[in-house]
Structure 1
Amino acid sequence: MNLPNILTLLRILLIPVFVVVYYWPSEHSRWIAAAIFAIAAFTDWLDGYLARKMNLVSGFGAFLDPVADKLMVAAALVIIVDTYSRALVDWPALLATPAIVIVGREIVISALREWMAEIGKRTQVAVSMIGKVKTALQMLAIFLLIGTDPSDSLVWIGVGALYIAALLTLWSMIVYLRAAWPYLKEGL
């Protein structure tokens, strides 16, 4: 067990804390939950940085890190869709659409990476700069949407950022699928 792996496990342990705090009946629960999400997002960056910097990259970390990221983002998106579908009754699908795109892409890319690893071509679908920008924008959007009251006009910045993140999500998925296409078409 090394420090990057401990940070990844911490991120997973923060998920139920994040959910409970968000729904806790307190006027500050939204911002505390947003702070917990920000800490989790920071540990995502920090564990990767430390693993590379200290030469502590491990199979366990390579497996668990993306799982922790996807669990935290999925939990946050479920909360956002729940909250905003009740608050914005005229537009119940406003945030469900980008949430489905983001979660769906993660499922597709996870399956693609697993399959590419099985055939020894995992590096063909490595994380790209588009994916990094998408992740940063997605984290900002989720932070704003978790921490902001649905009646606040700041919400629209979060909504816009989430839609841009969803578009970048689709774009990065296309990039990954194009890289994998020569191997995928062999099975047709």
Structure 2
Amino acid sequence: MNLPNIITLSRIVMIPVFVVIFYLPVEWRYVVSAAIFGLAAATDWLDGYLARKLDQSTPFGAFLDPVADKLMVAVALTVLIEEHASILMTIPATIIIGREIVISALREWMAEIGSRASVAVSYIGKIKTTAQMVSIIMLLAVPPGLLLAHLGLVLLYVAAGLTLWSMVLYIKAAWPDLFPKKLGKTLPHKAD
């Protein structure tokens, strides 16, 4: 266990704290839950930076980092869907959560067949993640209906569009392995 991994684990520990604070019957819950989510987003950058800077990258960290990110985003989007109780919030949130499930499964399968590098994180994925994190912070910071919430929702749609685009790029990169032209090529199959 090293410092980058401890920071990554702290993101997972923040999830129940974030949820409890978000549902407190007080007005400051919006700002504090947005701050917790913002802190979690910052630790995502920090743990990766420290792992590279201190040469402390580990297989456990490489596994845990995307899991922590996806859990935090999925939980935040889920509470926002309930808070806004609107199809306008549900559509981009569902796109983002659905894409994460598809790409996670694709990466796992590609790693299983030894082609994980072809579905590595792309530049567009980093832009998507930034738009997604900023929009979620904006949406968490204020009650539904305020200007900042409307701007956050617009940015969430931008993030959802980038999410679909990056998913297309991932699938395009994986396409030769998903649908090989050689009929004799045997691919592993994993039962659920």
With structure 1 as the length reference, what TM-score do the two structures score?
A: 0.95
User: How far off is 1:157 after superposition?
Assistant: 0.7
Residue type at the aligned position of 1:72: M
Residue type at the aligned position of 2:161: L
Sequence identity percentage: 59
Instruction: Report the counterpart of residue 68 of structure 1 in structure 2.
Output: 68
Instruction: Report the counterpart of residue 14 of structure 2 in structure 1.
Output: 14
User: How far off is 1:148 after superposition?
Assistant: 1.2
CA distance in 1, matches of 2:63, 2:147: 39
User: Residues 104-143 of structure 1 correspond to what in structure 2 (within 5 A)?
Assistant: 104-143=98-137
Following TM superposition, where does structure 1 have runs of at least 4 consecutive aligned residues deviating by more than 2 angstroms? none
SS of corresponding position for 1:114: helix
Residue type at the aligned position of 1:137: A
CA distance in 1, matches of 2:103, 2:36: 26
CA distance in 1, matches of 2:163, 2:145: 27
Q: Within the alignment, does 1:185 sit opposite 2:179 as a pair?
A: yes
Alpha-carbon RMSD: 1.1
CA distance in 2, matches of 1:143, 1:178: 31
SS of corresponding position for 1:154: helix
CA distance in 2, matches of 1:74, 1:122: 24
Instruction: Report the counterpart of residue 40 of structure 1 in structure 2.
Output: 40
CA distance in 2, matches of 1:170, 1:102: 8
Residue type at the aligned position of 1:41: A
Q: Which moved more, 1:72-81 or 1:143-152?
A: 143-152
List gaps (5 residues or longer) in structure 2: 184-192
User: How far off is 1:150 after superposition?
Assistant: 1.0
CA distance in 2, matches of 1:173, 1:107: 11
Instruction: Report the counterpart of residue 159 of structure 2 in structure 1.
Output: 165
The superposition leaves residues 80-116 of structure 1 with CA deviations (integer Å, 9 ceiling, x where unpaired) of: 000001xxxxxx2111000110010000000010011
CA distance in 2, matches of 1:40, 1:22: 15
The superposition leaves residues 130-187 of structure 1 with CA deviations (integer Å, 9 ceiling, x where unpaired) of: 0000000000000000111113111111010000000000000000000000110028
SS of corresponding position for 1:186: coil
Q: Within the alignment, does 1:175 sit opposite 2:169 as a pair?
A: yes
Residue type at the aligned position of 2:50: L
Residue type at the aligned position of 1:123: A
With structure 2 as the length reference, what TM-score do the two structures score?
A: 0.93
CA distance in 1, matches of 2:16, 2:161: 29
CA distance in 2, matches of 1:119, 1:51: 27
List gaps (5 residues or longer) in structure 1: 86-91
CA distance in 2, matches of 1:171, 1:111: 17
CA distance in 2, matches of 1:103, 1:33: 20
Instruction: Report the counterpart of residue 83 of structure 1 in structure 2.
Output: 83
